[in-house]
Structure 1
Amino acid sequence: MKKIALLTILLTTLAFASMNIDTTYATMGAVAKKIGGNLVKVTVLGSSKYDPHFIVPKPSLLAKLHRADLLIMNGAGLELGWLPPLLRQANNPRIRNGSKGLLDMSHYVPLIDVPKSVSRAFGDIHAQGNPHYSSDPHVVLIMAKAIEEKLVQLDPEHELTYESNYKNFTKSWNIYLKNFDANMKECKDKKVVQYHELFNYFLDRYNIKSYGTIEPLPGIAPSSKHTIALINIMRGNGVKLILQDVYHERKTAKFIAEKTGARVAIIPHELGADGSKTLQEFYNKIATRICQ
């Protein structure tokens, strides 16, 4: 009987799943599930355990993209190294550039760190600005609204359901943010360095100052000269926290920590990067590991 009941639930869920949504990364995927509910099936293309700039373009992703009704991408150049060739091979007119089935979230998020000029001499910079906005929990509200509007556009028959899901989610998320922001007031005077500028949106939101990066330039491996200079900066400014992501090498951060007495905190850049299963757990881990 239990098997029959489970099968019934599964079939019922599939019957209501009228839209296939692909998201390039997990945080957007979690928001899409909240807004779409039982009316959508969400597939996350990029693993959170790897560098988001260089997701391996596996053949299995082609089938997922081919059947997608909606593709939600981060944008701002973050997927430039892996998504375009997959889209060409997937041959899905619903999610081509300029189609209704493509949602570029960077068009809705106010981007920071926009470079005044673009040159290879500055490393792998993003011409449109820093694409790592998912670290800011307030951006979740922007994502939710953009996704709700897009779902209504593509599936107006279920407009009331999407609107209801959106209202319920944003109500609970605003309550979460109120408590989260109150707790983050204890961290406003923190000083940090990062490996890569993955957490600028979070740091800006909560007035935490970053004194530099372990990378001398975006996408460039650390050199001895730069590492020594960063150690001196940290000593001179009393920086005692290094934000290390899950996918870059950790040897350099460990060396710098030994020379400065700093603490190395492993910070997830996306939901699931270190095992987090919910949006709340993802952002709580960022806060806890920075503020402890």
Structure 2
Amino acid sequence: MKRLVALLLFFFSFSFAKPNVIATYPWIGDLVREVGKDRVNLYVIAKGSEDPHFVVPKPSHIARMRNADLLIMQGASLEIGFLPPLLQQSNNPKIQPGSEGLLDLSQFVKIIEKPEGVSRAMGDIHPEGNPHYQLDPHNIPILARAITDKLCQIDEKNCTYYKGNLENFLTRWDTKLKGWDRDFEKLKGIKVIEYHKLYDYLIRRYGMVLVGTLEPLPGIPPTAKHVEELLTNSKDVKFILQDVYHERRTAQYVAQKLNAKLVVLPHDVGAVPEARDIFSLFGEIVRRLNQ
């Protein structure tokens, strides 16, 4: 009888076990929360305030990945500096490239700025194109659906629950998106400079004009020569778009010289205190550009 009870308890606990989900970045984790809620165990590797290109691999990440059922990544080589060693040391066959437990979200959206060729002379450029696609709010529903489909694949018994949460999320997102679109419409045609090619999807979506970047090449710090050339060739620039993790002295100097406004924008959930979730991330971007 004791053996039977123990066996029943084992199967009961196994059948109701929550899938362990790893997200590389906070915005991905927030979409997992929206869909999975209390029926998944979630761990997020990076912090929203970090440079997403240079996340430090830690033993704590490896320990979590060893027991993961699903790893969700941004892809387009954004995690190339930290994810491969974590995957290798995790020794978890479920989440290795080509396995059912690895979801690369870059495969579901149109990636812009794909280079024809790649060399060191081009700076730290991504072969697949610009990886910061999450900053187009119109991409978010597509990505939420991809996450839902994958959760249904690895946890079929809760699929109806996940799909119900997705529909609720999409309804709320559609309402917010209509308002954001109206607010962003006011920015159409304005000229901007950004530090890194981080906000290109947002700029393209809403018809802003990118005059240049403070980096002479992606990943290469600003030089005096490049900044002076940028100042010479830039007119009627309204905003200097600055992220939270690069130095601000260069942006402050350029803003002063061009009589432009320096705007620090979040790029991820948690990048600034106001960006508490995926909704407030875009709400805060809109607020800062329209204040």
Q: TM-score when scaled to structure 1?
A: 0.92
CA RMSD of the aligned region, Å? 1.3
**1:1-292 alignment to 2 at 5 Å?**
18-234=18-234, 237-275=235-273, 276-292=275-291
Structure 2 CA distance, aligned partners of 1:185 and 1:17?
46
Q: Tell me, in whole angstroms, the C-alpha distance in 1 between the residues paired with 2:72 and 2:47.
A: 15
Unaligned runs of 5+ in 2: 1-14
Q: Deviations over 1:160-215 (max 9, x none)?
A: 11111111111111111111111211111221000001001111111111110000
Runs of 4+ in 1 over 6 A off after TM superposition: none
CA distance in 2, matches of 1:142, 1:40: 20
**Does the 8 Å contact 2:255/2:261 carry over to 1?**
yes
> Shift of residue 17 of structure 1?
6.4
> How far is the alpha carbon of 1:249 from its aligned partner?
0.8
Q: Give the AA of the match of 2:142.
A: I
Number of residue equivalences? 276
Contact persistence 1:17–1:41 (CA under 8 A):
no
Q: Distance in 2 between matches of 1:139 and 1:177?
A: 11
Kept in 2, the 8 Å contact 1:16–1:38? The answer is: no
The one-letter amino acid paired with 1:277 is R
Q: Give the secondary structure class of the aligned counterpart of 1:210.
A: strand
Give CA-to-partner distance per residue, 1:40-91, whole Å, 9 cap, x none: 1221101111110110111111111111111000000000011100110011
Gaps of 5+ in 1: 1-14
* Structure 1 Cα separation of the partners of residues 117 and 218 of structure 2: 15
Indicate the residue corresponding to 2:11 in structure 1: none
1:41/1:261 CA distance change after superposition, 3 Å: same
Once residues 217 and 31 of structure 2 are traced to their aligned partners in structure 1, the CA distance between those partners, rounded to angstroms, is: 32
- In the aligned structure 2, how far is the partner of 1:243 from the partner of 1:115? 23
Could you say if the C-alpha distance between residues 89 and 202 of structure 1 is closer, same or farther in structure 2, counting changes exceeding 3 Å? same
Q: Percent identity?
A: 46
Distance in structure 2 (CA, Å) of the matches to 1:198 and 1:17: 38
Whichever residue aligns with residue 94 of structure 2, its letter is R
| TM-score (norm: length of structure 2) | 0.92
Could you tell me which amino acid in structure 2 is paired with residue 114 of structure 1? K
Please give the alpha-carbon distance, in whole angstroms, between the structure 1 residues aligned to 2:24 and 2:153: 20
CA distance in 1, matches of 2:78, 2:277: 23
